[in-house]
Structure 1
């Protein structure tokens, strides 16, 4: 499906008015030149006509304004000016605005709508995408949010540079988005490009963008993202009641059976009942989307974080964590590091995907890379053992500065039935294997792997909301605590928790 031609797409000025608080926009643009050195008379005529048609002096407008009272820099394309194409003047305007936003420590919202670089200016305009990309890199490296709203249409060099570098990327419904211009494809190959590929909705389905958002909802999405990303977490929370919880007398097998209850609260319910300002993200941003993992920005109390964790299958046969899940998880790790946010990982899995597709997708390598990245993560980190913790799929999200465990959570090299089959060629010794392997939280606490227990009264499945609220209070406390640790001490302590022979 192509973008619906009946939809009216907003001009740059209309989008600015729709997103920014009324009357708050201030332009950063100097007037564009009336003539371009070396431009042909035909190109000068095109520029003059573009100014008359669009009512603006170039294909982009830049400036700043307020979104829900918060100061934000903006860069917005005007498609009616030569199809939003980027020539040298427009490129200079974009790069200058990005660098000004960086210097003034402002979050930046970009709203491209462009056919790419300006053909009339050839290779010099094409090369300007490198300068713009360098400016975006500098903004991101400064730890400042870069948010992108892809509008209809965004293709070519713009999609392949500043349109695809957002920390959070959302798109206009029905927008045509992609590297390839459909008109170019048809001219080169004599047939139309496949329909439905380059739509915002298809890119969302493929994990390339985070959401499809109409313009009238964009301000709310940006406000929620910035409320999380720029949260003031300086005031530490009071210690929750769970700091004094000790392990119960239950056996490992009893906990395993309790953890398998389908009514047990999962990550979705933890976020719904325990977090605030939750903003789901979607996919790897590189064409993969695996329902086995949930990625989001969220706050627990006043503590912001990047959240990534196992999505427990709702029904037998639903997808479990595969290699794409861990590539999505590593996107979350990178976001946490770039934005200076703590990382929260949530473990609740009966095991990773065991299939031909997972093997060919490099599951083992992705587990290794996830462990590698978590051990050396520059950001503070907290992991949560929420329920089942079987195998490499659980281990891949475990390393953290602090680990919280629900009372009936557990961690094992593989499900105890599998261990029993290996050791005794029968499943009947699963309970014995669970006890002997030290899978329950009491043993993990003694070894120093678990730092904080959250009690179940007596089973989280019977008190879902109350349990989630206690777990959320523990998460808020631990996020604040690890955030206060000196970076060098934090990394050394993190690695030491898992040192062979420790405990």
Structure 2
């Protein structure tokens, strides 16, 4: 693999001649002559005085603070001087309100300085944490190789993490493993592609694409909407009442548009993210940074095509959803959830994986999230998997969207000990969008004319426009009043809405 130097990478990623160096001369570390000679050789070789460069650049015209490693300087290792330089730059970025882009490549701690070098990772992490607490973006591009304490600190804290193709990325360096265990580390584990497959990083992209990724991410994360108050009137749509079972069947059509079609037809920008960041991913959930019109948000979308009898919605999907909620909190972005699930996994693995607890924690996180939230009931809304993403400031529903504790067949099996009464149970339980609106659960129904599967583009455009209107309205509201209203709306559910199901069910 051809390794770009720090300055060569700057030329690829940043606008021409935009780099402003923030570095003061490196403080000399009291060292034995051998180490001093190594430092001098590294300086001669690279033309740099330390293993990191810091400063600001513009990327597609956007000013960004940058942390950049040089592997040719003692393997990009971090000692006291490098740690001080990084922390100083991070604090400056925070003070100036700048997004922060880190491009590490490193073997980790500088062994010549020992434990004091090792503990630089703590103060670097503390500085990154303060930057994120200020609701400022932190983006990471992992280069070949990134290992040890660098990967285990500032390399693993990004809101968005991308890696160089075929890069060696891992905690334990292969050379150390071989020396300690007299065996070769398993091949293919510490690669960027394997980390992406396990939900640890968001994407694998070459350096030439990084500028576009950063620009798109910051367009969503930092660009203020042109109008922070809704000037659009919500249309008065006439919604035809149809039997609940008609909606159930419509929601299950294989050609019904799902979250992917919604994003393709209605989103202005989409930046997919991947996995929980903790070694899990689930094909049943899409996590992305999105703009509907000029309204940015974090989107959590249940993907009906990623959920199959073999891969139903599992605990990992809900942990990925919670990552999205934390991201919305960190960046102070609205959250949009798209509900479309036949139900969460019913299995030994799901039980042992903490499914029930993840449902509870999703609900708790959504109730407590202090950014605007909108839920869209796009299709099937079955069980706890749907419930986990419902409690928003505003709840929208497709005309044939529905919400139920079990699929109608399951409700029929409980009450009648068969599935032949599923259509009857669907009617009796009040699962339709029109029933949910009467119960105060749904605020707005998006019409299907007569079925979203018959007009996928037009339906998705209506849904996207509705999401844009709701987001514009919510961000104009007082945050404290919005939180009070969110609590009240769910406290009211059930009052004035008599159940139609037998009392002993």
Q: TM-score, normalised by structure 2?
A: 0.96
Q: CA deviation at 1:316?
A: 4.8
- Equivalent residues in 2 for 1:156-171, closer than 5 Å: 156-171=148-163
Q: CA deviation at 1:270?
A: 0.3
Q: CA deviation at 1:246?
A: 3.8
Is residue 109 of structure 2 the alignment partner of residue 117 of structure 1?
yes
Q: Identify the residue that residue 61 of structure 1 maps to in structure 2.
A: 53
- Range with bigger deviation, 23-32 or 146-155: 23-32
Q: Is the 8 A contact 1:312 1:320 kept in 2?
A: no
Q: Could you tell me how far apart the structure 1 residues matched to 2:462 and 2:115 are?
A: 59
Q: Could you tell me how far apart the structure 1 residues matched to 2:314 and 2:59 are?
A: 38
Is residue 97 of structure 2 the alignment partner of residue 108 of structure 1?
no
Q: Is the 8 A contact 1:247 1:441 kept in 2?
A: no
Q: Could you tell me how far apart the structure 2 residues matched to 1:315 and 1:122 are?
A: 49
1:304-340, Cα deviation, whole Å (9 max, x unpaired): 0000021113685352210000000000000000100
Q: Is the 8 A contact 2:168 2:192 kept in 1?
A: yes
Q: Is the 8 A contact 1:309 1:397 kept in 2?
A: no
Q: CA deviation at 1:379?
A: 1.1
Q: Is the 8 A contact 2:230 2:476 kept in 1?
A: no
Q: Is the 8 A contact 2:307 2:313 kept in 1?
A: no
Is residue 262 of structure 2 the alignment partner of residue 262 of structure 1?
no
Q: Is the 8 A contact 2:29 2:81 kept in 1?
A: no
RMSD: 1.2
Secondary structure of the residue aligned to 1:448 is coil
Q: Structure 1: 5+ residue runs without aligned partners?
A: 1-6
When residues 326 and 272 of structure 1 are mapped into structure 2, their CA distance, relative to the original with a 3 A threshold, is same
Q: Structure 2: 5+ residue runs without aligned partners?
A: 497-505
Q: Identify the residue that residue 28 of structure 1 maps to in structure 2.
A: 22
When residues 57 and 314 of structure 1 are mapped into structure 2, their CA distance, relative to the original with a 3 A threshold, is closer
Is residue 44 of structure 2 the alignment partner of residue 45 of structure 1?
no
Q: Is the 8 A contact 2:379 2:400 kept in 1?
A: yes
Q: Identify the residue that residue 500 of structure 2 maps to in structure 1.
A: none
Q: Is the 8 A contact 2:284 2:306 kept in 1?
A: no
Is residue 357 of structure 2 the alignment partner of residue 365 of structure 1?
yes
Question: How many pairs align?
Answer: 494
1:402-444, Cα deviation, whole Å (9 max, x unpaired): 0111011000111001101110011111111111101001111
Q: CA deviation at 1:488?
A: 1.9
Is residue 491 of structure 2 the alignment partner of residue 502 of structure 1?
no
Secondary structure of the residue aligned to 2:362 is helix
Q: Could you tell me how far apart the structure 2 residues matched to 1:299 and 1:502 are?
A: 36
Q: Identify the residue that residue 3 of structure 1 maps to in structure 2.
A: none
Q: Is the 8 A contact 2:258 2:378 kept in 1?
A: yes
Q: Could you tell me how far apart the structure 2 residues matched to 1:481 and 1:447 are?
A: 22
Partner residue of 1:287 out of 252, 273, 279: 279
Q: Could you tell me how far apart the structure 1 residues matched to 2:307 and 2:170 are?
A: 35
Is residue 194 of structure 2 the alignment partner of residue 215 of structure 1?
no
Q: Identify the residue that residue 352 of structure 1 maps to in structure 2.
A: 344
Is residue 315 of structure 2 the alignment partner of residue 323 of structure 1?
yes
Q: Identify the residue that residue 228 of structure 1 maps to in structure 2.
A: 220
